[in-house]
Amino acid sequence: MENKYTFEAHGIIWRVMYDHTIGVILLEMRDGDQKEVSFAALEVKTGIVLWEGLQLEENWWISMAGVKDGFLYFSEFDQNDAIPKVKKLQKLNIKEATLVEDNQEDPSQLSSAEEFELPIVYPVESEYYATLSTFLKQLEYDVAESDIHYYETSHQIIFVFIERKNSVLQRKLLICSRKGEVLFQEVIDTDIRDQIMDSFFMVDNMLLYIKEKEIWCGLSLTALNN
């Protein structure tokens, strides 16, 4: 599909950040078996990988802390504490993938994903849930009783919901036109065992989501209109 890209992560995608000043997605990927964490950077629009598999000297007790003006900051934790506390911040030039030691004070405020928009989450007990569930059932989806994630654009309606399929619960992404025509659909988790909080993100008419916990996907909604 020309309007979609994917990136297979090095382990579970644990954290996602976005630097809107340079249009780059940052992924934190954790391999629990190897006890290793690595990082990747992709252009949000094209999926072009700027770099991947980046590791720092501390390769487990470290995490992305935030972004600001083209720099990614990492928190390193002291694992000897009963409750790990941040030991220090490290600063990476995102475009160059190089650590910077400029002796400047760390910013007082970092962002994780400015300009990301999130869907509205409708729990089963909410008033609007029944309307959404009925609409999906009319499209012949076997909707399980669980939160429905919902987002509208000027041309599309986007759903993420739990569907029963051969006695298994799956998580489905569905994009319809405003008239109710199915434009795109994909199973993004083939076997749901526990509640997954996030479903998708929107930025600059790009739909961004994680499939099977380890595949980062970007889909241009502009292309769906053509």
Helix/strand/coil (H, E, C) string of the chain? CCCEEEEECCCEEEEEEEECCCCEEEEEEEECCCCEEEEEEEECCCCCEEEEEECCCCCCCEEEEEEECCEEEEEEEECCCCCCEEEEEEEEECCCCEECCCCCCCCCCCECECCCECCEEECCCCCCHHHHHHHHHHCCCCECCCCEEEEECCCEEEEEEEEEECCEEEEEEEEEECCCCEEEEEEEECCCCCCCCCCEEEECCEEEEEECCCEEEEEEHHHHHC
- pLDDT for 84 beyond 70: no
Q: For 96-106, what is the mean pLDDT?
A: 87
pLDDT score, position 149: 96
Q: Is pLDDT of 191 > 90?
A: no
pLDDT of residue 198: 81
Looking at mean pLDDT, say which of 13-27, 64-78, 98-112, 183-197 comes out highest: 13-27
**pLDDT tier at 164, thresholds 50, 70, 90:** very high
pLDDT at 88 over 80: no
- pLDDT of 1 higher than 60: no
**Whether pLDDT at 83 is above 70:** no
Burial status of residue 167 (CB atoms within 10 A of its CB: 0-12, 13-18, 19 or more): exposed
Please tell me the predicted confidence (pLDDT) of residue 80. 73
Mean pLDDT estimate for the chain: 91
